[in-house]
Amino acid sequence: MSMDEIYFTPASEEHLAREKRKARQLRRSQWWKNRCGAGQCHYCGGRFPPRELTMDHLVPLVRGGVSAKSNVVPCCKECNSKKRYLLPVEWAEYLEERLRRG
C-alpha cells in the first residue's frame, strides 16, 4: 500500500486545536529539551543539532493521537515530512517497501 492509498476520517477541529496547544506546552518543557538534547532522530537514527529536531506524534493528531510524552518523539524534518499522518505500522510498511525497491 502506498502512502497515497491510505484513507481515514480526520479527527475533529476541536481535537486538533486542543492537542496542538498541548504540544506547544510540551515543546517548552525541560523534558522535551532533554529529549532533543541527545540530537538523534527517532526514525532514521541520524544525528542533528537539537534545534533542528522536530516533534513527531507517533499516532498523528489528525488520526486521533494526543500530545503526551508517550506519543511524541524527536525526529529530523525529512522523516517528519515523509511520515506525515502515518500510523507506526503504516510507516514501518513504507520503510520496508523502500528497502525492497532499493
What domains lie within the chain, and their CATH numbers? 10-101 (1.10.30.50)
pLDDT value for 9: 86
Q: How confident is the model at residue 7 (pLDDT cuts 50, 70, 90)?
A: confident
pLDDT at 5 over 70: no
Cell 544525528, located at residue: 47
Residue 9, CA atoms < 13 Å, CB-side half-sphere: 1
pLDDT at 6 over 80: no
Say how many Å lie between the first and final Cα of the chain, rounded: 17
Q: For residue range 41-100, what is the model confidence (pLDDT) as tens digits? A: 999 999 999 999 999 999 999 999 999 999 999 999 999 999 999 999 999 998 898 888
Burial of 74 (C-beta count, 10 Å sphere; 0-12/13-18/19+): buried
**Which residues on adjacent β-strands are paired with residue 75?**
54
